[in-house]
A = this chain, B = another copy of it.
Amino acid sequence: MYPKSLQKLIDDFRMLPGVGEKTAERYALCMLDLDQESVEQFASHLLQMKQNIKQCRVCGNITEQDVCDFCSDENRDTSVICVVQQPKDIFAIEKTGFNGMYHVLNGAISTTKGILPDDINIQSLFSRLDSVKEVIIATNPTLDGETTALYLSKVLKDYPISVTRLAHGLPMGSNLDYADELTLIKAMEGRIKQ
């Protein structure tokens, strides 16, 4: 129904996470209303991003250089490595004031999707463990994240390193009666003496 070149763009927008037909239409029509220059910039930014962004040789984070900003920052504590699933998790951890190093798995071990330890960025972690005192496992509290955490803590047992995990429990500002069973069980298990 829409002109072909608009329909193609609508289909492209539908590739974005959580975007259905209606939203994709709105996005494409918004692009149609934008001035020529902005649309050209959008298109060239897409290509530039794809061209310039690669994985950090050390930690697997996204970067435009060979080594990412975190790995090349000399003011960070190299004795602690925080292991996360995705680059964007780093920005969440940064907000906590953490000042150590990161390691990005770029995925998680998944029995259902058939993703094995060798399919994600785990091997390069082991080559970074000299003079490291602590590895903090900060994978997501999901089935795949838990599987990955379990695997990591098992393999890292062979190293003279303290392996820790982020605490699971009630999120701050939440109500006890809204918490799901699994979260409550984790909160009970992890209870702390006052």
The interface residues of chain B lying within 8 Å CB-to-CB of A53 are: 3, 5-6, 32
Residues 1-44 of A, flagged 1 when their CB comes within 8 A of B and 0 if not, give: 11111101100100111100000011111111010101111111
Looking at chain A's contact residues, the main secondary structure is: helix
Please name all residues of chain B whose beta carbon is closer than 8 Å to the beta carbon of A16 when the two chains form the complex. 26-27, 30
Contact A32 B6 (CB under 8 A): no
Given A3-B52, A30-B15, A53-B32: A47 in contact with B40 (beta carbons within 8 A): yes
Q: Are B94 and A9 in contact (CB under 8 A)?
A: no
Residue in B closest to A94 when the chains form the complex, CB atoms: B1
Q: Do A91 and B1 touch (CB < 8 A)?
A: yes
Residues of B within 8 A of A47 (CB): 39-40, 43
Range of interface residues on A (Cβ < 8 Å) = 35 or more
Asked if A110 CB lies within 8 Å of chain B CBs, one says no
Residue in B closest to A106 when the chains form the complex, CB atoms = B33
A165 at the interface (CB under 8 A from B): no
User: A29–B84 Cα gap in the complex (Å)?
Assistant: 16
Contact (Cβ within 8 A) A3 B36:
no
- Residues of chain B lying within 8 A (CB to CB) of residue A155: none
